[in-house]
Structure 1
Amino acid sequence: MLNIQQLTYLLTVGLFLIATQPTIAESSANIPTPTKTNRSKSQRIIFKLPPNDGKPKSTLSAGSRGDWQCPQDATSTTTLSKQYPLMVLVPSDSNYGLTSAEHPTFLVYLPQTSAKQLILSFMEEDNQLYSQTFIPIQGKPGIVSIKSANNSPSLKVGKTYKWALVLVCGEKASPNDPVVTSWVRRVPLAQPQSHHKASLEQANTYSQQGIWYDAVLALAQIKNAQPDNQAIADIWADFLKSAGLEAIATQPLRF
């Protein structure tokens, strides 16, 4: 049997718990919970176009064949080859980008092709040949990385170069081979970056400084290392969209 004192104590504790329950619930409801949307927005990397200083007057791409395919591939039934031509990954509205590298790495979308090699050439602004490198390819569709040979002349800081990519359709290069062109200018870094391992922070720094070729390479390396990471895939897609390249954002990386 409970005496009067024990009963009074139990009633007091019960009333206290009832009175405080709404307050506890209300306090919990007022604590902001991070949402998936907020996290995604904070991780977006959007490319910022650099000033036009040093940009050539004309940066239009040129080529010898309208569909950028080898003759033997023009009748292919491969849908991917028809939908996406040979193209360089560079902002679509300028066809021009900056780099901080002596021997920059370029990303190129390569359609299904029977060609076995590419030729990467650099020309100075007076169209004098600066360097040339032959690059073997497998011909599978996707985004590949290319760069000039390590023993070729390095790009000079402050200079702008026209670079051309020729898809060699036969045993040797021909004037009728598909070719795409773009422009690159080497600049010093405002904030030196480590080149040992790419990071989202590093890619964002390049993007904010308008250094296209370094930014897109860093993000591609991260995506290539984490192919099943949807968050990274979303960042990659947003980045390419900011440069007008969303059409190939889901294409495989082959490097």
Structure 2
Amino acid sequence: MSNLKTLLYRLPIGIVLTLELARSPGIASPTSSQSFFANQSTIQLAQSNPPPPPTNPDRSSAGGRRDPSNCPQDTEAATSSPLLTALSPTTKPGFTLSERPTFLVYVPKTSAKNAEFSLRSRESRGIYRTTVALTNTPNLINLTLPTQTPPLTVGQPYTWSFAIICNPNDRLEDRFVIGMVQRIELDSARLRQIQQASLKEQVALYQKADVWYDALAVLYQLRRSQINDPSINTAWRELLQSGGVDTINEEGKRERGKGKGNQ
């Protein structure tokens, strides 16, 4: 038993999270990294009634935050910026139409060099995992599932996590947040209406259909290309607040991107 406990304490965060949620086989982990407001990115929006919503993490803090504190070595930064936050709704289901959606995470100022993103099925089967370089924080990081990952199954809830690796030699010191996402489908007429609309109109249509993640992805794209448009910034804040994600302020002026859709 003592040997088992020793082994558990040495497991990386991906497996620690698995033990919390259930169990997990292997996870694909291709890597690549890129840049918020500096570069353009192509956000892929994929494709009748929505299925029952997934159960969101029962947390009062934004984005299903599980361990919001900063790394032990970053105690000074904790007083000057928001905490690690997953941009995932906590007051409503996190729906998407995309086969491979985009995820956003606010990372506070940290001396940690790397983080880890992972996606798991309802059965805690590992779908995707990758390492993210933290070269310039505070930052809003975007990650889009690459084409080699299987598309999300319609109607199935997934859990995603983002962990700051505070100490590579002791993954129990990781600081991590989690979110929930579920792919749904719309009838062809509503989908065609969205596809033919302007980006600003798409935001309103996604919100009307309660497709939170895709509305966020389009607003993220608009904020990068039209940074001085006050109506976009207002819509951004209102969308985050509608999902219970209300701790992000305007200090994030850059971003790091990863996965398909970042150029």
Instruction: Map Cα deviations across residues 70-122 of structure 1 (whole Å, 9 max, x no partner).
Output: 22112x256433xx11011122324x401111211111111001122221111
1:53 match: 52
2:227 match: 227
Letter in 2 for 1:53: P
Q: 1:80 to 1:148 in 2, by over 3 A?
A: farther
Greater mean deviation of Cα atoms: 130-139 or 54-63:
54-63
Q: Could you tell me whether the CA contact under 8 Å between 1:121 and 1:133 is conserved in 2?
A: yes
Give the secondary-structure state (helix, strand or coil) at the position aligned to 2:154: coil
Give the secondary-structure state (helix, strand or coil) at the position aligned to 2:216: helix
1:85 counterpart (83, 86, 90): 83
Give the secondary-structure state (helix, strand or coil) at the position aligned to 1:247: coil
Offset of residue 160 of structure 1: 0.9
2:248 match: 248
Give the secondary-structure state (helix, strand or coil) at the position aligned to 2:214: helix
Q: Could you tell me whether the CA contact under 8 Å between 2:68 and 2:85 is conserved in 1?
A: no
1:112 equivalent in alignment to 2:109:
yes
Q: 1:132 to 1:223 in 2, by over 3 A?
A: same
2:205 match: 205
Distance in 1 (CA, whole Å) between partners of 2:154 and 2:51 is 16
Offset of residue 244 of structure 1: 3.1
Letter in 1 for 2:172: P
Q: Could you tell me whether the CA contact under 8 Å between 1:120 and 1:164 is conserved in 2?
A: yes
Give the secondary-structure state (helix, strand or coil) at the position aligned to 1:72: helix
Q: Could you tell me whether the CA contact under 8 Å between 2:50 and 2:185 is conserved in 1?
A: no
Distance in 2 (CA, whole Å) between partners of 1:121 and 1:86 is 16
Q: Could you tell me whether the CA contact under 8 Å between 1:162 and 1:181 is conserved in 2?
A: yes
Instruction: Map Cα deviations across residues 200-251 of structure 1 (whole Å, 9 max, x no partner).
Output: 1011111111111100111121111111222322232233333333432424
Q: Counterparts of 1:1-255 in structure 2 under 5 Å?
A: 53-56=52-55, 59-60=58-59, 61=64, 63=66, 65-67=67-69, 69-74=70-75, 76-77=76-77, 79-81=79-81, 84-94=82-92, 96-171=93-168, 174-190=171-187, 191-192=190-191, 193-194=194-195, 199-255=199-255
Distance in 2 (CA, whole Å) between partners of 1:62 and 1:238 is 20
Residues matched between the structures, number: 199
Distance in 2 (CA, whole Å) between partners of 1:71 and 1:211 is 37
Q: 1:234 to 1:62 in 2, by over 3 A?
A: closer
Q: 1:173 to 1:93 in 2, by over 3 A?
A: farther
| Aligned CA-pair RMSD | 2.8
Q: TM-score, normalised by structure 2?
A: 0.66
Offset of residue 57 of structure 1: 7.2
Q: Could you tell me whether the CA contact under 8 Å between 1:203 and 1:219 is conserved in 2?
A: yes
Instruction: Map Cα deviations across residues 33-78 of structure 1 (whole Å, 9 max, x no partner).
Output: xxxxxxxxxxxxxxxxx97814137554363x451x222112x256
Q: Could you tell me whether the CA contact under 8 Å between 2:96 and 2:182 is conserved in 1?
A: yes
2:36 match: none
Q: Unmatched 5+ residue regions in structure 1?
A: 1-49
Distance in 2 (CA, whole Å) between partners of 1:156 and 1:173 is 34
Q: 1:133 to 1:206 in 2, by over 3 A?
A: same
Q: 1:51 to 1:194 in 2, by over 3 A?
A: closer
Distance in 2 (CA, whole Å) between partners of 1:173 and 1:150 is 32
Offset of residue 130 of structure 1: 2.2
Q: TM-score, normalised by structure 1?
A: 0.68
